[in-house]
Amino acid sequence: GAGVSQSPSNKVTEKGKDVELRCDPISGHTALYWYRQSLGQGLEFLIYFQGNSAPDKSGLPSDRFSAERTGGSVSTLTIQRTQQEDSAVYLCASSVRLAGELFFGEGSRLTVL
């Protein structure tokens, strides 16, 4: 596809369940970011992958959050034992040669009941 693809677009889950969110970046983009945006709030950085370097996990809010990027392409963000405060839109973005020029996917809206 031409853009960043995220799935699912919407996810409703019960408190305590695990969820997986998927991101397929633009082909050839080496950098991949995950952000979280709560209603009416700014973008909260979660994790960043750049090529084969170790990811920058400094934004992950707790050890319930993890992410991996397989083969330098598709990334999965996993949230274990979800809590109501995890409800937000999770945005994935990728970039090619210039850091900071990000292309965002449409996001995955997570609702934890």
Partner 1 sequence: QKEVEQNSGPLSVPEGAIASLNCTYSDRGSQSFFWYRQYSGKSPELIMSIYSNGDKEDGRFTAQLNKASQYVSLLIRDSQPSDSATYLCAVLEGIYGGSQGNLIFGKGTKLSVKP
Binding site for partner 1 (CB under 8 A): 31, 33, 35, 41-43, 45, 48, 50, 53, 56, 58-59, 91, 98-107
Nearest to partner 1 of 2, 98 (CB atom): 98
By C-alpha distance, which of 76, 62, 61 is closest to 25? 76
**Nearer residue to partner 1 within complex by CB, 79 or 91:** 91
What is the nearest approach in angstroms of partner 1 to the Cβ of residue 100?
4
Provide the strand spans (E) within 38-102: 43-50, 65-69, 75-79, 88-95
Shortest reach from residue 48's CB to partner 1, in Å: 6
Q: Is the CB of 48 or the CB of 65 nearer to partner 1? A: 48
State the residue for tokens 């170790």: 54
Residue 75 burial by CB count (10 A; 0-12/13-18/19+): exposed, middle or buried?
Answer: buried
